[in-house]
Amino acid sequence: MKKLRVENIEDLEALKEKHYPLIKQRLGHRNGLGLTQIMVCAGSSCISSESQAILQELERELDKRGLKENVRVLKTGCLGFCQHGPIIMVHPGEIFYCRVKPEDVKELVQIHLLEGRLVERLLYQDDLTGKRIPSINDIHFFKAQERVVLQNCGVINPEDIEEYIARDGYFTLADVVLNKRPGEIIDIISKSGLRGRGGAGFPTGKKWEMTASQNVTPKYVVCNADEGDPGAFMDRSILEGDPHSVLEAMAIAAYCIGANQGYIYVRAEYPVAVERLEIAIEQARETGLLGKGLFGTLFDFDIELRLGAGAFVCGEETALLHSIMGARGEPRPRPPYPAQEGVWGKPTLINNVETYANIPIILRRGWEWYQGFGTASSKGTKVFSLAGKIKNTGLIEVPMGTSLRTIIFDIGGGIPGGKRLKAVQTGGPSGGCIPEKFIDRPIDYESLKEIGSIMGSGGMIVMSEDNCMVDLARFYLEFTQDESCGRCTPCRVGTKRLLEILKRITEGHGEMEDLDLLERLSQDIRDASLCGLGQTAPNPVLSTLSYFKEEYIAHVRYKTCWAGVCKALLDYQVDEEKCIACGLCAKACAAGAISGAPKQPYRIDPEKCVKCAACVARCPKNAILKGSRKETTVNENAGIFTGAGSQESRATL
């Protein structure tokens, strides 16, 4: 069947009409369709836990039982509750099943579809009350959010353009191209207060205006989908769950600045997102929403995908431009800004995925509405990805100005295992660690900057008392040092030296003067580096130094790692009371550090021990404890080897 080519708003209306009843049912209307829809999450995280197999199994089972007529199985984007994946939703009823396995499908079909009862054991169980909650609308994780950008994720099938149209998709583009002047649109974007969601928070309207005012042609529109911050997966989820919102926004941007060609630069590490984008672009071309003469006007616009090849620095806009042109992704000094000289030396507008995803909604609902969310300086909502030591890892969207307490304890469910919150890392390798004391601060671009971190793209890594802040700084420096492109000296050599000092400290060879050196070197790198990667690389060091200095001092002066993470500062000891003298540990020890005699507690010689923890794994009585060296030193002085592990270090085992 040949697809309808959309020429005007009426064509869009017709397509919307066709799919709207299905969408309406998914949004909670009981409209008597006589049809059940099963939405299977096909985000990367759920695919990793076999959601594709569930989908196939469902198809097979429905076929076998002759239910295909009345039940539809569809793929959908990420709902953000990744910790509980794979997730399946059944409509009508918005029934939310989590941690579903392919083996559960038979039961699901039998009990839910045929007998009309709920499969209790697969429903979400509330942490506090222990009650099973059938409907997504009653789950606190979702109730506490404000889903604006993510409104379509989990509701529509991302591989069907018509479902996007049924959610008013491409109507805004049609209205803009047919009825509006570019200046009007840029004015609305400026008034909305939208700022770049990629990290720096530059006003989006201003960027559009700058590119629009250039008198050079051709111009280009670029989408930065090189989401390289570890622990950040907002952009990936948008591209996987609602790719057309980005395509539509890019077309609107192109119309406003006067471009006819767009590029999406996406990481090769996101195969699912790449596939969905390819499908989306193809469908948009078939439907006439990309290509020559959109909506019967003279406006042409098409989009090409460009794949990254594993270089973090390519998220920096000038490096990204080089990479789009097929060259080494090295940054260059600005000015000239990409708005003046970008792809092929022509004016180029670069925005991040989430920024684009905001555009159609702002234009549809008006800047006044959008201004209703957020703080004085930061408007709208922000998508955050929660990861690390937190119960509900996943993706959330909240208004700007929400506090960390709400995000971590209310929506995120707190820290698992009753551990204490130590810090939250925001902004990835360019950001900083926020200590617990700032947990009630409203989060926006400015407030995070004031406390030494940045918004970044929205990754939040939660850390508990089991994480060592010196080790974390070392980890990030290892990352930036590895990813430094080598073009400018402060970054290439500076990060290497920083890393050496941090390694020295975590290995127990640090001196007190190293702490001053760290600080001075960090400032130099920040001031002298060429691009954002180098300028922000010292942030993890500076912020941990300012908030967790006592931890650095403990490593340097007392050679102790409180969290029990830095291997060189650890010692293993046998708990004499628990030891049954079976000798398994001595056999497991490759270094020959464990000795003992029958019926006597065994002992570990700290001088010979290589801290491989092989003995800990072998001991049947959990009698080998991980402690820090300081405690051993004290014990050595007292002439005793054993039993020094504190309650805390026992818990870390």
Which residues lie near another protein (CB under 8 A)?
44-45, 47-49, 82-83, 85, 227-233, 236, 268-271, 304, 306-312, 323-330, 344, 385, 387-389, 393-394, 425, 428, 459, 461, 463, 467, 472, 475-476, 485, 617
CA-CA distance, 123 to 6, in Å (whole number)?
Answer: 42
Residue 152 neighbours by CB under 8 Å, 6+ apart: 77, 164, 167, 241, 242, 245
Choose between 11 and 397: whose C-beta lies nearer to another protein: 397
Choose between 25 and 348: whose C-beta lies nearer to another protein: 348
| Closest C-alpha among 210, 419, 173, 494 to residue 334 | 210
For helices 9-26 and 171-179, angle between their N-to-C axes, nearest 10 degrees: 160
Choose between 93 and 414: whose C-beta lies nearer to another protein: 414
To another protein, the closest distance from the beta carbon of 240 in angstroms equals: 9
Choose between 17 and 482: whose C-beta lies nearer to another protein: 482
Choose between 150 and 472: whose C-beta lies nearer to another protein: 472
Q: How many of the other CB atoms lie within 10 Å of CB of 346?
A: 17
To another protein, the closest distance from the beta carbon of 119 in angstroms equals: 22
Choose between 231 and 243: whose C-beta lies nearer to another protein: 231
Bridge-based pairing state of the strands 381-388 and 459-464 = parallel
Choose between 205 and 428: whose C-beta lies nearer to another protein: 428
For helices 182-192 and 204-212, angle between their N-to-C axes, nearest 10 degrees: 160
To another protein, the closest distance from the beta carbon of 584 in angstroms equals: 17
| Closest C-alpha among 519, 198, 233 to residue 393 | 233
| Closest C-alpha among 441, 471, 477 to residue 552 | 471
Quick one: CA dihedral 543, 547, 551, 555, positive or negative?
Answer: positive
What would the 3-class secondary structure string for 276-323 be? HHHHHHHHHHHCCCCECCHHHCCCCEEEEEEECCCCHHHHCHHHHHHH
DSSP assignments along 7-30, one per residue: -SHHHHHHHHHHHHHHHHHHTT--
To another protein, the closest distance from the beta carbon of 563 in angstroms equals: 11
CA end-to-end distance (rounded Å), the chain: 62
To another protein, the closest distance from the beta carbon of 642 in angstroms equals: 25
To another protein, the closest distance from the beta carbon of 636 in angstroms equals: 28
Here the tokens at position 467 are: 């994480």
Choose between 227 and 316: whose C-beta lies nearer to another protein: 227
Choose between 155 and 319: whose C-beta lies nearer to another protein: 319
What are residue 129's phi and psi, to 5 degrees? -90, -20
Choose between 209 and 571: whose C-beta lies nearer to another protein: 571
To another protein, the closest distance from the beta carbon of 236 in angstroms equals: 5
To another protein, the closest distance from the beta carbon of 231 in angstroms equals: 4
To another protein, the closest distance from the beta carbon of 490 in angstroms equals: 20
To another protein, the closest distance from the beta carbon of 299 in angstroms equals: 21
Residues facing 76 on adjacent strands? 41
Choose between 367 and 476: whose C-beta lies nearer to another protein: 476
CA-CA distance, 406 to 89, in Å (whole number)?
Answer: 26
To another protein, the closest distance from the beta carbon of 15 in angstroms equals: 31
Distance of CA 539 to the CA centre of its chain: 19
Helix (H) or strand (E) holding 340: none
Quick one: CA dihedral 70, 73, 77, 80, positive or negative?
Answer: positive
| Closest C-alpha among 501, 484, 500 to residue 492 | 484
To another protein, the closest distance from the beta carbon of 600 in angstroms equals: 30
Rounded alpha-carbon distances, angstroms, from residue 629 to 164, 256, 462, 578: 60, 64, 27, 21
Contact 544, 470 (CB under 8 A): yes
Residues facing 625 on adjacent strands? 573
271 preceded by a cis bond (ω within 30 of 0): no
Choose between 425 and 529: whose C-beta lies nearer to another protein: 425
Choose between 49 and 595: whose C-beta lies nearer to another protein: 49
Residue with tokens 């970044």: 456
Residues facing 384 on adjacent strands? 396
To another protein, the closest distance from the beta carbon of 324 in angstroms equals: 6
